[in-house]
Structure formats: structure tokens, C-alpha cells
Amino acid sequence: MTFSIVARSADGASWGVAVASKFLGAGAVVPAAVAGVGAVATQADANVAWKGLALAHLDEGATADVALQSLLDDDEGRDHRQAGIVDATGGAAGHTGVACIPWAGGVTGDGYAIQGNCLAGSDVVADMEATWLGGDPEAPLAERLVAVLAAGDAAGGDKRGRQSAGVFVVRDAAGYAGRDDVAVDLRVDDHAAPIPELARLLDLHALYLTASTEEEKVPVDADLREELQRFAAAAGHDDFATWVGTENYEMRVAPDLSWIDRRILAIVRAS
């Protein structure tokens, strides 16, 4: 009743899972990942205990194949389960139980596992894999994962319809202020078009929580500084720094106002 991808980034620094389903809050149920350890998706008649168990096996040095086999050996409900696992080195393993609702199946390759059940057909998984393999390996992992979901959805996705989607990505010290490893954790729990909505949220995540590149920085000279201060005053703020804090653009404007992200400048000038 769900389709997902588990993957490691080409540079070996990030692991993540993206999932979509005609099920409430699939993003809260299916994915799990730990930076430097691996990632797992559990679905169909999901055994959510598999998330912690799989990551524990991987953390102890098991490969994806060994971790998956251990899960299957210890679960009498294995015929109703589906899972994908990617380990620290990019090794991948997948399982589709014989009792999963058809169409059900999956594929694995170097650094990825793609799986789905109760799907419109095998093209869902095939198009997801083609999108993954044809994507830019240097693009942010979350963007690649959501693009794979969109491909699966375009091929028919969950044959019951659409409801939820989620993306979860980890990388060492990638969380807020570098204090944890959660690079992206976004979910659309109940929506008529969950994957486009997830993509919209991912764009906002990049805007608010990703630092500007050098190419995105516009130097602030005296004239521009005055323009920004006038804008802030007209908006009812004491200064431009106060407006930046109010709008949560701290990652996109220098604390000393020596530069401003071109997108934020565009927002100011369009106001």
C-alpha cells in the first residue's frame, strides 16, 4: 500500500528514505536512518520494530543483506512485510513478502533499494529506478528522493490513490545549528497531492535552513543598506536585522549585513 526509496548519496555522506502512500502519515511510520550507519524503510503490514532492529544490526557491522535476513528469521509475519535497507557502504537489500498485496515488488542496486506494494503496476518501481539512476548524483539527496517519488506517482503509484508522503535524510552534523544529524525531516500527512506538496516544503526547507552559496550572495553597499533599512522601517521594524529575524531568514542574510541572498533581496523588492 506504499512505495518508497532508501538510498545513500553518491558522496557516501548522506542516507535517506522517501515514501508515499494512500495511508495517513506514512512518513511517520516507514523511514528510519542514522548517519554513518544506514537507512531502512518498513512497509506493507509494517513491523515498525524492524527500524530500530535493522539499524542496530547495521551499527554492529552487519551488511544490509545480513541485517535483513536477521529480521526475516525472527518474524513470523515476514510474508506480509516489505522492506528496503541500505548500509553504511551503500550495500542494499530488499524484501517483498509473498502475501503482500499485488502489484508488489522491488529492486536494489549500488546505494539504493526501491520497493512498493498495492501499486498500479511494475512500471511504478521501474520508473522510480530509472529516475534515480538518471538523476544528478551531485544534487542534494532529499531532492533526488522526492524526484523518485514523483516518478512513481506519475506511473500510477499506490493504486488506491494518494494521501501522504515524507522524506527523511541524515548526514553528520547536518541538523539545526549542527547539533544533530537530521538534515531533512518533512512530512505531508493528509493531502490530495502529497508529493507536490512535499516538494514545495522541501523548497522552503532549502530557503530557510540552508546556507547561501557564494554565488547567491549579493554584496550590500551603502545604497543597498539604506534601501533595506527603509524597507524595514516601512514594514514597521526598528531595523533590517529585526525583519530578517521575524521572517526566519537568518541563514540568508549576513549578521553584519555585508551580504544578502539574492532570493531575499528579490522578496524585499517585490514587497
- Kindly give the residue spans of alpha helices, DSSP state H, lying in the chain: 26-29, 49-59, 64-73, 123-134, 141-154, 194-209, 222-234, 240-247, 262-270
Q: What is the mean pLDDT of the chain?
A: 97
Same-domain status, 98 and 46: yes
Domain extent at residue 266 = 214-270
pLDDT in tens, 144-162: 999 999 999 999 999 999 9
Query: Do 52 and 33 fall into the same domain?
Result: yes
pLDDT in tens, 84-114: 999 999 999 999 999 999 999 999 999 999 9
Q: Return d(Cα 249, Cα 16) in angstroms, integer.
A: 26
pLDDT reported for residue 134: 98
Q: Which three cell numbers stand for residue 261?
A: 541572498
Mean pLDDT for the stretch of residues 239-265: 97
Enter the C-alpha cell of residue 198.
512535499
Query: In the numeric block, which cell numbers belong to residue 219?
Result: 554584496
- Same domain as 50, residue 24: yes
pLDDT tens readout for residues 188-204:
999 999 999 999 999 99
Residue 161: predicted pLDDT: 97
Domain count, the chain: 2
20 lies in the same domain as 67: yes
Could you say which of 158, 186, 209 is where a domain stops? 209
Domain limit, last residue, from 209, 243, 261: 209
**CB count in 10 Å sphere of residue 271:** 8
Whether residues 149 and 228 fall in one domain: no
pLDDT of residue 138: 96
Q: Which pLDDT score, from 0 to 100, does residue 177 have?
A: 81
Is the model's pLDDT at 271 over the cut of 90? no
Q: Give the CATH number, domain containing residue 181.
A: 3.60.20.10
DSSP designation for 253: B
On whether both 201 and 255 belong to a single domain, the answer is no
pTM of model > 0.75: yes
Residues 181 and 223 in one domain: no
Q: Are 145 and 167 in contact (CB under 8 A)?
A: yes
